[in-house]
Amino acid sequence: MTNTQPEALKQPPPPLPPRPIKLPTTSETTLSNGLLVVVVADQRLPLVSYRLALRSGDAHDPAELPGLVDMLTGLLTEGTQSRTSREIADEVARLGATLQAGANSDYTTVAASSLTTFSDEILELLADVALRPVFPANEVELTKQNTKESLKQQRAQPSFLATEMVAKVMFGAHPYSVTAPTPEAIDATTREKLIEFHRSKFVPNNAVLVVAGDVDHDSLLQRIEDLFGNWQPGAVIGDDFPAPPTRTARSAYLIDRPGSAQANIVIANSGITRTSPDYFPMLVMHTVLGANASSRLFMNLREEKGYTYGAYSSLDARRTAGTFRATAEVRTPVTGDSLKEFFYELGRIRSEPVSEKELADAKSYLTGVFPIRLETQEGLIDQLVQIKMFGLPDNYLNTYRSQIQSVTREQIQAVALKYVRPDEAAIVIVGDGNQLSEQIKPYAENIEFYNTAGKRKTKGEASSAKSATFYVGDWTLQIDTPLGQSIPATLTLSQSTNGLSGKVESEMGSGELVSATVDGDSLSAIVSLDVAGHAIEANIFAEVTDNQIEGTFSLQDAPALTFTGTREKTAEAPAQS
Amino acid sequence: MASPPLGPKRANVTGRNEINVAERFELSPTPIKQFTLQNGLRVILSPDSAVPVVSVALYYDVGSRNEKTGRTGFAHLFEHMMFQGSENVPKAAHFQYIFNAGGTMNGTTSTERTNYFETLPASHLPLALWLESDRMRSLKVTQENLDNQRNAVQEEKRLRYDNQPYVNAFLRINELIFKNPANAHSTIGSMEDLDAATIEDVQEFFRIYYAPNNAVLSIVGDFEEQEAISLINKYFEGIPSQAGPPSVDTSEPADVARTQEVFYDQLAPAPAFVLGWKIPPRRTPDFYALSLAADLLFEGDSSRLYQKLVKGDESVVSIQGGIDERRGPSALYIFALPKPGEEVAAIRDQIFAEIQALRISGPSAEEMEKLRNSLRNDVVRGRQSTMYRAQRLAEYALYDNDPTLMDSELDHYLSITAEQIRASVEGYLDIDNRVVLDIVPSALNEEAQTEAAASPQPPGEPQQPAAPAPQVPARPPAQPATDAGGVMGAAEKRPEQSQQPADPPQQTERGSGPLHT
């Protein structure tokens, strides 16, 4: 490391002359039923990619059925009028192709890609699953079961818990507040509801089909006309959603996850829609503050302080509302110190104009990474779909770089003052509650406590992880009915190899626990009840304090019943396997 | 997007059973120019002017397999140190130079190698080469930076491993599959070993492994070949070579280290299990065959295990698998998440029965067609990205001294017969010589409670370092190597939304970098 260097190596080299960006040219055609077709010729490789996008997303779930659109997209490939689930899977695989559907809050997509050789066949499959799904009863049932299990898995992820709480707090009555289905909504989803949603929302005049690839334009359009021309248009319902709540004070929401190895921090403010005139100033402000590893948040919390693997901001701008967030996962003992640095940076972006260098760097970053995402067909289609789904101008890609270049320091400070509002922020933290509440107190007068089931805790003290013996015993319960009656029941919990097992006995029916999961002082279980010879599944959610238990008991499709109870006999010796 | 057509001529598809892609499938060869500097640095150039960007990948022949006992996690910690400054580049300025030029970058570490890569507007090729050469020539190491990055790495470990359900079990299973410590321990390493790393370790590691003769530089994108060559000479020529690093012994006996264990997972909401097998090194006929067998077993909705367990028996919520592809003995995994109330042992028996069926009858003709079309599709699709190509070229040059495998490895896969697949299952996916790792939620197990609170190890087991998390599932030809740990994760799409048109592009490489993935 001691060899002397030529002077020329001491300074960063100047760039070579810029090379021109060849933006793709698109051609648009509208079929008589209203389906807009956007085609980009891309002859670099023998590939083709299709994406059908519809302006209905998770936000359009029926209010009582959160998660319906997600289940529906999963079921599109599980059976059509002419193909079974298995046939669809085998045919896609035989072509070496991909075919998948999905949704976000604002829109739904059905995407397919293949080698050019199979471009006709994969498009026919796409049309079949998008237009003619039949939602077979057995597939609906299986999807419901697996969605419930996935929900349990999601709740084990700290990032899911943080996102769920942020959405709930920030969006209130607006449907963006919902990030996942509930077990009750999954139970209540039926084949009929899926068919009805598909019939009303999957209409050509609410959709766009984007194609990129090595295609012959005229024969492609003929093929699209053949496959999609008979698709019947329908009524298009706009986005008529309640406004998200206006925040007036800072508060903290602590989700107690006993044993958590880190604290997940999200600091959220209300933000902008995707088409807001403030979008480009916000984008540049976000780049200076926290978009990447050279932004202020990363440089401070990671490179200076070493509190985290990464600290970022995020600009969440959707069709009808948005948030602006600052996030990091930090080691638990420095959660308070991290909040201090976050609020320092959130204050600084408001109080001082960004420097000329920061402004130039942020613009250079945003304009420079722009062409990289156009390298792949998927990346290009992403852009074109979003332009259509969010209602961005048709020349969006052509004007993107000049829009970035025109942002001023004054505009950046103005949007920071308008949208970065530390005194009104929601601080959401997921972590080990026992180690966190004292650290959070200096930054929020008001702290609400939740468990990982998303249920508000009445007591301020966080709980710690409990072992199976905490729950084991014979519990005597009183279940309250809507008519004011009280039904006696017993819940027997014992320890087994893989956790808890047990049974429920009551007048309504009796049966064994199918599964049980515990989290801190709360227990979720599924019991298979024999009710007059019929097997019915019920969900139990309970919180235990010493020898007291309280919670809810819900049968499929019925409102939850509350119960309270006491422990008659405490832990037995653990069962041997 | 205006380059001439490279693909095969379109042909009429007359009927399902008449499709024969092979006869009509030919890709133009990847342009490859390769040479070696006097100091031993191997260079691969592949110009492509379709989009005005350039991707640079620098691969060093050092990974967790080179780590000494007591210093696990060191290759990855070192990767972080490579962003902490060199003679002319201040601490963390590497990130800033790249981002401020409109580029994206990261670095990652696997068992096999440590890579550093960036994609930039084409005009900034000199910047990338200057940055990479400055740290190869003159990395600066201070105690303060080492402490800081140790903290960042420990948070990375907590974020990606210790705070996630099931993930640490994937580290544990490698310790049960492999007997040789070089293969068995994880890339992320242990907290204790990370704490023990000293400045002297870092300096020694740099001298031995970060020499030009232990590296490959590859560049793909919009550049003039002569200009690139003179820039490479200018920036890298003066860096002295070093004595070659010590050789690595990755040899393994055929048997797995241990066939069965219970893993108590504090964060898992439900029981699950992982099965693991030891398989031959990459680029052997048996490895190719086993990769294809793995695809048939668990890749996608048409796979045998998905159709049997998720759809047919409805006994598991999900089933996934993957292959950890290495130059030495490699591994194959299957992870299953049973439904509540299902008998775990019975599900395992069903998996073994499906493996037996493949061992006895081999793949069907339909399955062979599916494999071949998928292989071709993946290879072509991967080529869209300049970064993907830069990484594959560097990898083939580093491991095989043959970057033309970029084009020809597909043929190796396509040449595998149904009988070879059948025989590879018979030879390696043994029902007895395998690891069964049961994952039990420890919150529900009294015996595990006190032990598990302190460590993810089962009671009575010696404290051992863990092994790299396989990226499950991984397709052999089209996916990058399994990685664990890097300088940053990719900027995450935090709110569960699609990317904004204005947001940075996705990382090419999976796994972690010095930033975020």
CA–CA min distance B300, chain A (Å): 8
Q: Please give the pLDDT value at position A557.
A: 55
Interface of A with B in 278-307 (CB under 8 A): 283, 291-294, 298-299, 302-304, 306-307
Range from A17-26, A358-367, B171-180 carrying the lowest mean pLDDT: A17-26
Chain B residue closest to A468 (CA)? Answer: B444
With cut-offs at 50, 70 and 90, classify the pLDDT of residue A575. very low
Q: Which ranges in B210-272 belong to alpha helices (H)?
A: 225-236
Give dist(CA A539, CA A527) in Å, integer. Answer: 6
Q: What is the pLDDT of residues A171-198, one digit of tens each?
A: 999 999 999 999 999 999 999 999 999 9
Choose, out of A10, A45, A400, the residue to mutate when testing the contact with B (most B CBs < 10 Å).
A45
CB B376 within 8 A of CB B318: no
| CB contact residues (below 8 A), chain A span 477-536, against chain B | 495, 497-500, 514-519, 526, 528
State whether residue B193 is helix, strand or coil: helix
Say which of B152, B373, B514 has its CB closest to residue A96: B373
Taking an 8 Å cut-off on Cβ atoms, the answer to whether B504 and A105 are in contact is no
How would residue A468 be classed by pLDDT, with cut points 50, 70 and 90? low
CB contact under 8 A, A261 and B317: no
Spatial distance between the Cα atoms of A106 and B200, rounded to a whole number of angstroms: 54
B290-to-A150, A264, A549, B420 alpha-carbon distances in Å? 30, 40, 53, 9
B515 and A8 within 8 Å at the Cβ level: the answer is no
A502: nearest Cα among A575, A436, A556, A442: A575
Amino acid B25: pLDDT: 62
Instruction: Write the residue in A3, A365, A495 that is nearest to B238 by C-beta.
Output: A3
- CA torsion angle for B132, B135, B137, B141 (degrees, to 10)? -170
Give me the residue from B120, B163, B238 closest to A158, CB to CB: B163
- Determine, for residues A89 and B300 on separate chains, whether the beta-carbon distance falls below 8 Å: yes
Give residue for tokens 């410590």: B181
CA distance A563 to A333: 38
Q: Work out the mean pLDDT of chain A and round it to a whole number.
A: 90
Among B18, B129, B444, pick the best mutation site for testing chain A contact (most A Cβ within 10 A).
Answer: B444
A316 with B302: Cβ contact below 8 A: no
- The pairing of strands B33-36 and B42-47 is antiparallel
Residue whose tokens read 């899926």? A194
Write down the ipTM of this complex: 0.84
Comparison of pLDDT for B5 and A540, the residue scoring more: A540
pLDDT at A570: 54
Please give, rounded to a whole number of angstroms, the shortest distance from the CA of A282 to a CA of chain B.
11
B88 CB within 8 Å of a chain A CB: yes
Name A423's Cβ contacts closer than 8 Å, sequence gap at least 6.
A249, A250
| B481 close to A (CB below 8 A) | no
- Which 222-241 residues of chain B touch chain A by CB within 8 A? 222, 227, 234-235, 238, 240
User: Alpha helix (H) ranges present in B178-323?
Assistant: 181-184, 191-196, 199-209, 225-236, 285-298, 304-305
> Is B234's CB within 8 Å of A8's CB?
yes
Edge-to-edge strands, sheet with A426-431: A308-317, A322-330, A263-270, A426-431, A251-256, A447-450
In A507-570, where do the E strands start and end?
Answer: 510-519, 522-531, 534-545, 548-555, 561-569
With CB atoms and an 8 Å threshold, state whether A116 touches B8.
yes
Residues of A whose CB is below 8 A from B497: 104-105, 316, 318
CA distance A219 to A33: 19
Give the whole-angstrom CA distance, residue A267 versus residue A133: 41
In which band, very low, low, confident or very high, does the pLDDT at A7 lie, cut at 50, 70 and 90?
confident
Q: To the nearest whole angstrom, how far is the Cα of A10 from the nearest Cα of chain B? A: 6
Cβ atoms within 10 Å of B233's Cβ, excluding its own: 13
Structure token pair of residue A318: 């959707």
Phi, psi dihedrals of residue A310, rounded to the nearest 5°: -170, 140
Question: Is residue B470 less than 8 Å (CB to CB) from chain A?
Answer: no
The per-residue pLDDT for range A77-111, each reduced to its tens digit, is 999 999 999 999 999 999 999 999 999 999 999 99
pTM value is 0.83
The whole-number pLDDT of residue B482 equals 34
What's residue B303's pLDDT?
98
> Rounded CA gap, A252 and B360, in Å?
60
**A487 confidence band (pLDDT: 50, 70, 90):** confident
The Cα–Cα gap between A298 and A5 comes to 32
Mean pLDDT is lowest, of A5-19, A117-131, A226-240, B53-67, for: A5-19
Q: How far apart (Å, rounded) are the C-alpha atoms in residues B412 and B318? A: 31
Helix (H) or strand (E) holding B219: strand B215-221
Interchain contact A325–B (C-beta under 8 A): yes
Question: How distant is the Cα of A35 from the closest Cα of chain B, in angstroms?
Answer: 22
Instruction: Going residue by residue through chain B, which has 517 residues, state the pLDDT in tens, using 9 for 90 and above.
Output: 333 333 333 333 333 334 445 445 678 899 999 999 999 999 999 999 999 999 999 999 999 999 988 999 999 999 999 999 999 999 889 999 999 999 999 999 999 999 999 999 999 999 999 999 999 999 988 898 898 888 888 888 888 888 888 989 989 999 999 999 999 999 999 889 989 989 998 899 999 999 999 999 999 999 999 999 999 999 999 999 999 999 999 999 999 999 999 999 988 888 999 999 999 999 999 999 999 999 999 999 999 999 999 999 999 999 999 999 999 999 999 999 999 889 999 999 999 999 999 999 999 999 999 999 999 999 999 999 999 999 999 999 999 999 999 999 999 999 999 999 999 999 999 999 999 999 998 765 554 444 333 333 322 222 222 222 323 322 222 222 234 445 666 433 333 333 333 332 232 233 334 553 3
Name every chain B residue with its beta carbon within 8 A of the beta carbon of A338: none
Which residues have C-beta within 8 Å of that of residue B338, sequence separation ≥ 6?
B270, B271, B272, B273, B315, B316, B317, B344, B347
Distance of residue B387 Cα from the nearest chain A Cα, in angstroms: 10
Rounded Cα distance, A127 and A99, in Å: 11
Q: How many CA atoms lie within 13 A of A235 on its CB side?
A: 4
Window A:10-49, CB contacts with B under 8 Å:
10-22, 24, 40-47
Best of B497, B507, B508 to substitute, by most chain A Cβ atoms within 10 angstroms, is B497
Residue A40 phi/psi, 5° resolution?
-120, 120
- What is the token pair recorded at A50? 């299709």
The distance of B295 to chain A (nearest Cα, Å) reads 11
Residue in chain A nearest B272 by alpha carbon: A498
Phi–psi pair at B296, nearest 5 degrees: -65, -35
With an 8 Å Cβ cutoff, are B441 and A499 in contact? yes
